[in-house]
């Protein structure tokens, strides 16, 4: 029997991480329109562009350069093509516009970049896009014309976002807007990925919102107790990850976290524990759940109208849903990328979860990438049960970024140098950690 020492196990883990991170990045090489930089939302042929996917792609190029997967000049060219498109595309209310008031419609036609379907002007997806723009600008600091233009366009794109308009005369930011219909009735309140949204909005030198908006947002948090410790609740795991992809929350906290003697990084570690505790208890009696098979998040799932039959019982399947723990909703669908995306918070749990999923469901990967979701409780071709037939761009992007943050801290280190993020976090009342270190204005 082959005995593996700790060094060999570490090498095996690193090889697995290498393979999955590289495959995740390759999504952007395969599903990007190189003429305009638009990235397909999913791997199906008819997919439109998701502007959030573009933000994750832009943030992934620095990782790819450092890993030797793409030449720096080639990556810079791709970034510049993307930024030029968004800078020159139509801002307006008409059907063929790409955005309005510095924000962008959630989905765009891959070829022309026009608004797709009846999609909304999305604040959060625009924020994810612009964070990618700022990440690229923080990395491409060279003196050649292409890298200079990247930085100039990044500044312009950020500064034309009209955050004050997006408040719609309220305290908190609206979720979006539609031509003809006006602002959506929902606002960004309660703990969610919108920390990054408010950070960008408060730091704007042209259309900033007041710090009181962040207070109005954070004052709607919901807390619960887990293992006798306060836990800032959000059910879907992606909420505990997305802001962290760019913002290093280690050692910094706002007054809402300080009051609980916690921070957002520690809270995400607790979210992982909550998920594992929930899947181990498995109150819904779903197939495959245990402490190493976890990952309840927003993802596609079996369609309620799909006519499928479950193996052991008939759970109510949800289609696309923001699944979460411990309060649900839940129908047995797992987002298989989620454990590995938790690598910076709990390396052992992340690797144990990833290896357990791949060992139990060896035919799960699509082109060596995780699908959007799978449900072993619902009958399928193999033990995986129902499997999404596509990979999702933002899932692949969060993997590239979070794996790299654990390995080298690349994205965190880049964005810690950003005066924009520093200013926004300070306006939100964050103190401590790297925010107490001298700032650098070298990267805008």
Task: Using CB atoms within 10 Å of the CB of residue 22, give its burial: 0 to 12 exposed, 13 to 18 middle, 19+ buried.
Answer: middle
Predicted pLDDT of residue 422:
98
The residue among 106, 128, 97, 241 whose CA lies nearest residue 176 is: 106
Predicted pLDDT of residue 312:
58
Predicted pLDDT of residue 444:
43
CA dist., res. 137 & res. 169, Å (int): 32
Strand spans (E) along 158-312: 176-178, 182-183, 223-226, 229-232, 298-299
Other C-beta atoms within 10 Å of 315: how many? 19
Predicted pLDDT of residue 196:
97
CA dist., res. 262 & res. 274, Å (int): 16
Predicted pLDDT of residue 383:
96
Task: Write the pLDDT tens digit of every residue in 380-394.
Answer: 999 999 999 999 999
Beta bridge partners of 183: 177
DSSP 308-330: --BSSS-----SSEE--TTT---
Cα distances (Å, whole numbers) of residue 236 to 193, 196, 241: 11, 17, 10
Tell me if 292 sits within 8 A of 354, measured CB to CB: no
Tell me if 159 sits within 8 A of 205, measured CB to CB: yes
- Cis omega (within 30 of 0) for bond into 326: yes
Predicted pLDDT of residue 311:
59
Local structure of 358: helix, strand or coil: helix
Structure-block tokens of residue 213: 């908006």
Query: Can you give the pLDDT of all 444 residues of the chain as single tens digits?
Result: 333 344 444 459 999 999 999 999 999 999 999 999 999 999 999 999 999 999 999 999 999 999 999 999 999 999 999 999 999 999 999 989 999 999 999 999 999 999 999 999 999 999 999 999 999 999 999 999 999 999 999 999 999 999 999 999 999 999 999 999 999 999 999 999 999 999 999 999 999 999 999 999 999 999 999 999 999 999 999 999 999 999 999 999 999 999 999 999 999 999 999 999 999 999 999 999 999 999 999 999 999 876 455 555 566 899 999 999 999 999 999 999 999 999 999 999 999 999 999 999 999 999 999 999 999 999 999 999 999 999 999 999 999 999 999 999 999 999 999 999 999 999 999 999 999 988 765 444
């Amino acid at each position: 029997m082959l005995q593996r020492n700790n060094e060999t196990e570490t090498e095996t883990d690193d090889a697995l991480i290498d393979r999955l991170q590289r495959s995740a990045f390759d999504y952007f090489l395969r599903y990007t329109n190189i003429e305009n930089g638009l990235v397909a939302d999913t791997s199906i042929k008819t997919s439109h562009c998701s502007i959030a996917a573009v933000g994750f792609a832009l943030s992934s190029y620095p990782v790819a350069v450092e890993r030797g997967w793409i030449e720096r000049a080639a990556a810079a060219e791709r970034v510049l093509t993307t930024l030029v498109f968004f800078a020159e595309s139509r801002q307006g209310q008409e059907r063929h516009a790409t955005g309005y008031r510095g924000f962008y419609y959630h989905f765009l036609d891959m070829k022309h970049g026009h608004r797709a379907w009846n999609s909304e002007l999305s604040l959060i997806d625009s924020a994810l896009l612009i964070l990618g723009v700022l990440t690229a600008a923080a990395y491409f600091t060279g003196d050649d014309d292409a890298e200079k233009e990247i930085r100039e366009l990044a500044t312009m794109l950020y500064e034309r976002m009209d955050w004050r308009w997006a408040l719609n005369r309220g305290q908190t930011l609206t979720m979006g807007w539609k031509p003809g219909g006006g602002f959506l009735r929902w606002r960004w309140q309660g703990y969610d990925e919108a920390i990054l949204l408010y950070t960008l909005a408060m730091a704007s030198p042209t259309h900033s919102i007041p710090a009181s908006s962040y207070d109005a947002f954070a004052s709607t948090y919901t807390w619960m107790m887990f293992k006798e410790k306060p836990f800032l609740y959000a059910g879907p795991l992606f909420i505990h990850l997305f802001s962290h992809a760019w913002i290093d929350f280690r050692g910094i906290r706002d007054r809402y976290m300080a009051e609980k003697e916690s921070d957002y990084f520690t809270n995400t570690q607790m979210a992982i524990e909550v998920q594992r505790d929930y899947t181990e208890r498995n109150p819904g009696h779903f197939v495959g759940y245990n402490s190493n098979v976890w990952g309840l998040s927003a993802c596609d799932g079996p369609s309620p109208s799909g006519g499928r039959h479950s193996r052991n019982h008939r759970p109510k399947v949800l289609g696309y849903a923001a699944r979460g723990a411990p309060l649900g909703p839940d129908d047995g669908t797992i987002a298989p990328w989620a454990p590995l995306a938790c690598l910076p918070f709990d390396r052992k749990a992340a690797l144990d979860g990833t290896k357990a999923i791949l060992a139990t469901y060896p035919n799960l990967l699509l082109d060596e990438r995780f699908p959007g979701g799978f449900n072993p409780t619902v009958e399928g071709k193999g033990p995986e049960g129902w499997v999404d037939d596509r990979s999702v761009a933002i899932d692949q992007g969060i993997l590239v970024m979070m794996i790299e943050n654990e390995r080298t801290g690349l994205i965190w280190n880049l964005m810690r140098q950003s005066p924009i993020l520093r200013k926004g976090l300070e306006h939100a009342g964050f103190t401590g950690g790297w925010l107490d270190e001298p700032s650098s204005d070298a990267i805008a």
